[in-house]
Amino acid sequence: MSSSPTKLDEEQHGSASQTDSNSPAAANGVETYFDEKIPIPEGDTDPNACFGTGFSFRKLWAFTGPGFLMSIAYLDPGNVESDLQSGSLAGFKLLWLLLLAHILGLLMQRLAARLGVVSGQHLAEVCSKLYPRVPRFILWLMIEIAIIGSDMQEVIGTAIALNLISNGVMPLWAGVLVTIVDTFTFLLIEECGLRKLEAFFGALITVMAVTFGYEYVTVKPDQGQVLKGMFVPWCSGCGSEQLEQAVGIIGAVIMPHNIYLHSALVRSRSVNRRSKRAVREANFYFFLEAGIALFVSFLINMFVVSVFAEGYFGKDPQTVYNACVAAGNPHADVFKNSSSDMDIFRGGVFLGCEFGIACMYIWALGILAAGQSSTMTGTYAGQFVMEGFLDLKWKKYQRVLLTRTIAILPTVFLAVFAGRDQLTSLNDLLNVLMSLQLPFALIPVLTFTASKRVMGKSFVNGPANSIVTAALAVAVIGINLYFVQLSVSALPKLWYIYLPVSVAIILYLLSILFLVWCLIELGFTVLLFGLPGDRFGFPSEDTRHLFADYEEHGGRVAEAAVNDG
């Protein structure tokens, strides 16, 4: 890169000339992104138009893909379990919170996509270049934990689905082992081309929409209650259980590694980043596509909540057990224990008892699609995070083998020596784990999208946008930390448990405080005017020339600040 700011014409974006072909990875002969770039149809599109004459369905179709791949994380088995528990415990009363969580998720995914399009680098790469070594390592570790936790949820969901579909013939441990094979099978689909891979995942989302939609039509929820639950932000008569579930909805819906994933997936489109118009157009279409994708995922989640709100809410397990015995369901015993919580296995059994055995198998098929679709998105997220933070260029099958092995070992142990109840309890614990990791995605993406050094003058978050998104992030993080506090308070009150947990919490909070400090200093002050020497421990050459083609005025200010430092 040039050490001096590059003079650009009025159509060029500040950091735009860093093309894919000039990336270090490409220079070394290693492709770190998708081998195929989807071309964008050329045309005179008005960048300020929405659904006027400047809108192009051909361009929307060309940009369609990353948002739907991203939305799969909103439909994984952990989300489905959170949905059915929400309907079982609170009826329709928490649907408004589910809608709000999807809206918050869309705002955060918008920032991630903009970062990838405008900077030309995904979130993990930017973190690697702009954070000091120790915080960088902590970020990588936290996101890897989130990815492995998500992978474990997918393994659990797939194993339970196969157990239901086979009517118990395939034990849970065998279903866990099957997930080793299916992931490598999906890698072969990628060899057919990126668009075919995206179409395959679109088909899995369709399977979920059809199966859970079938349950919705069969159960026939009260539509008035559905609408009231969606648009009346209140939960009358709710107690501590419903409050915990409300907090859990936010934790289950917004996934930390998904923000890293989306910032990388947008790189699969061939966008002329030297043109402000092209970048603005890409931001618009990616946001529109993400909105459509998350609307679909909300509908699917709403189907699940409504089915159990209408069918199970207010019923006691003994009543369901009697119905299962009368229907001759082989899994009726799961409702013998009156204290049993609803989970994805019991949910399928309940539907089979109340609405016919076909509903149980269709439910299991939907869970299977949820687990399988989430598998590959987790693989890609892990690939991007590892390459961005550690500069490790592993082949996908090596990455899959590592994460899937780590995910399978504890899962198969529980499946063999503990049982289904422990597996479903692990699913709930993993939702808590996701809540813990969320700040390590939200704070960095807020930091860098508020930086002129990264985003350029034309695409940086404005003050109002930064304040609103930061406030939303604080609210989401606060809710998730409360969720974690509830889980920790439920631990046995033994010193040898509380001591390591307390140490971990202190280190965790210190890490978050550092990121917040970076958000204040790095995001809103330092990166606006350049880095004052090595004050933050950054490698000065890398950060000084990270985006050599930022806009001329901003670049000169930044360079002057570096030289003065």
What is the per-residue pLDDT across 269-303, written as a single tens digit (0 to 9) for each?
A: 988 888 889 999 999 999 999 999 999 999 999 99
Of 92, 88, 90, residue with least CA distance to 232 = 92
Mean pLDDT, the chain, integer: 79
pLDDT, position 310: 95
Per the listing, tokens 């009697």 go with 322
What whole-number distance in Å separates Cα of residue 82 and Cα of residue 250?
10
Is 131 within 8 Å of 341 (Cβ atoms)?
A: no
pLDDT, position 23: 44
- The total of other beta-carbon atoms located within 10 Å of residue 507's CB is 11
pLDDT, position 19: 40
* The pLDDT of residue 6 is above 50: no
* The pLDDT of residue 69 is above 90: yes
Q: Where are the domains of the chain?
A: 20-564
* The pLDDT of residue 36 is above 50: yes
Tokens of 433: 């784990």
* The pLDDT of residue 31 is above 80: no
What whole-number distance in Å separates Cα of residue 10 and Cα of residue 7?
10
* The pLDDT of residue 77 is above 70: yes
Report, as an integer, the average pLDDT of 536-541: 38
pLDDT, position 80: 93
Report, as an integer, the average pLDDT of 199-214: 94
| 3-state SS string for 196-263 | HHHHHHHHHHHHHHHHHHHHHHHHCCCHHHHHHHHHCCCCCCCCHHHHHHHHHHHHHHCCHHHHHHHH
What whole-number distance in Å separates Cα of residue 494 and Cα of residue 501?
11
Indicate the Cα dihedral angle 76, 77, 81, 87, nearest 10°. Answer: 50
Is 184 within 8 Å of 400 (Cβ atoms)?
A: yes
Element of type H or E holding 181: helix 172-190
The band of 43, judged by pLDDT with boundaries at 50, 70 and 90, is low
pTM equals: 0.84
Residue 272 φ/ψ region, left for φ over 0, alpha for ψ in the -120 to 50 degree band, beta for the rest: beta
Of 80, 93, 75, 102, residue with least CA distance to 342 = 80
* The pLDDT of residue 469 is above 90: no
What is the per-residue pLDDT across 251-276, written as a single tens digit (0 to 9) for each?
A: 788 888 999 999 999 999 988 888 88
* The pLDDT of residue 108 is above 60: yes
Higher pLDDT, 23 or 493: 493
What is the per-residue pLDDT across 333-383, written as a single tens digit (0 to 9) for each?
A: 888 876 667 889 999 999 999 999 999 999 999 999 998 888 778 888 888
* The pLDDT of residue 478 is above 70: yes
Indicate the Cα dihedral angle 164, 165, 166, 171, nearest 10°. Answer: -40
Residue 543 sits at the vertex; the CA angle it makes with 537 and 548, to the nearest 5 degrees, is 170
Supply the DSSP symbol for 282: H
* The pLDDT of residue 546 is above 80: no
Decide yes or no: CATH 1.20.1740.10 for domain 20-564.
Answer: yes
What whole-number distance in Å separates Cα of residue 431 and Cα of residue 50?
37
What is the per-residue pLDDT across 165-183, written as a single tens digit (0 to 9) for each?
A: 998 889 888 888 888 777 7
* The pLDDT of residue 34 is above 80: no
Q: Crossing angle of helices 344-355/276-311, nearest 10°?
A: 60
Tokens of 246: 């409300």
Mapped onto helix, strand or coil, the DSSP state of residue 387 is: helix
Residue 225 sits at the vertex; the CA angle it makes with 220 and 228, to the nearest 5 degrees, is 145
Is 154 within 8 Å of 375 (Cβ atoms)?
A: yes
Of 104, 406, 121, residue with least CA distance to 255 = 104
Alpha-helical (H) ranges within 232-356 are: 240-253, 256-265, 276-311, 317-327, 344-355
